[in-house]
């Protein structure tokens, strides 16, 4: 043998002990990271309700007759908007009421908001009157 040969003696106890210590350090580091990681509180928070669920009505005076707008809501959504007590005579006298309300209802239920509502120039004033009645019914839903 030459003089440059070195013999290394490894003790099995030390290798096993070192492996166990390194494993425990890794487990401790992972647990520490999980413990200190910021929690996602989005699931813990409850969504505030916008409306009291129910059906709310608001009246519109058209000439001598009153027309009721009915708005159905749940806690966070506007579900439907419809006309109540619109008889054939009223529909004949005011032919733009039903198409205007259908147009508004479609936009409001899609957007869930009264903002950025568009209406045609043909039924502009009818739409404004109906929109104010819908807004009044939604205020009733929000206040209860």
Assign residue 107 the CATH number of its domain. Answer: 3.90.1010
Predicted pLDDT at 2 = 63
59 beta partners: 68
- Could you tell me if 136 and 129 are in contact, meaning their C-beta atoms sit under 8 angstroms apart? no
Picking from 98, 140, 101, the residue whose alpha carbon sits closest to that of residue 117 is: 101
Is residue 18 one of the residues assigned to a domain?
no
Q: Domain residues for 70?
A: 54-143
SS3 content of the chain, % helix, strand, coil (to 5): 50, 15, 35
**Which pLDDT band holds residue 1 (cuts at 50, 70, 90)?**
low
Given a cut of 80, whether residue 40 has pLDDT beyond it is: no
Predicted pLDDT at 46 = 57
In the chain, the number of structural domains is 1
**Which pLDDT band holds residue 47 (cuts at 50, 70, 90)?**
low
Q: What average pLDDT does range 43-47 have in this prediction?
A: 53
Picking from 71, 68, 38, the residue whose alpha carbon sits closest to that of residue 52 is: 71
Is residue 98 one of the residues assigned to a domain?
yes
**Which pLDDT band holds residue 44 (cuts at 50, 70, 90)?**
very low
Given a cut of 90, whether residue 72 has pLDDT beyond it is: yes
pTM score, whole prediction: 0.65
At residue 54, φ and ψ (nearest 5 deg) are 155, -170
- Could you tell me if 133 and 60 are in contact, meaning their C-beta atoms sit under 8 angstroms apart? yes
Q: The tokens of 128 are what?
A: 């404004």
Is residue 77 one of the residues assigned to a domain?
yes
Is residue 28 one of the residues assigned to a domain?
no
Predicted pLDDT at 41 = 57
Q: What average pLDDT does range 140-144 have in this prediction?
A: 80
Is residue 36 one of the residues assigned to a domain?
no
Is residue 97 one of the residues assigned to a domain?
yes
Question: What is the tens place of the pLDDT at every residue in 53-70?
Answer: 999 999 988 888 888 999
Predicted pLDDT at 94 = 85
At residue 38, φ and ψ (nearest 5 deg) are -60, 140
């Amino acid at each position: 043998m030459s003089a440059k040969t070195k013999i290394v003696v490894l003790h099995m106890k030390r290798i096993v002990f070192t492996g166990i210590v390194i494993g425990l350090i890794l487990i401790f580091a992972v647990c520490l990271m999980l413990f200190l990681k910021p929690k996602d509180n989005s699931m813990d928070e409850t969504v505030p309700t916008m409306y009291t669920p129910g059906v709310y009505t608001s009246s519109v005076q058209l000439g001598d007759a009153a027309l009721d707008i009915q708005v159905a809501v749940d806690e966070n959504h506007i579900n439907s908007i419809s006309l109540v007590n619109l008889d054939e005579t009223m529909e004949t006298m005011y032919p733009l009421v039903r198409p205007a309300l259908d147009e508004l209802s479609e936009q409001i239920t899609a957007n869930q908001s009264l903002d950025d509502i568009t209406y045609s120039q043909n039924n502009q004033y009818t739409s404004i009157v109906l929109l104010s009645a819908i807004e009044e019914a939604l205020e009733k839903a929000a206040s209860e």
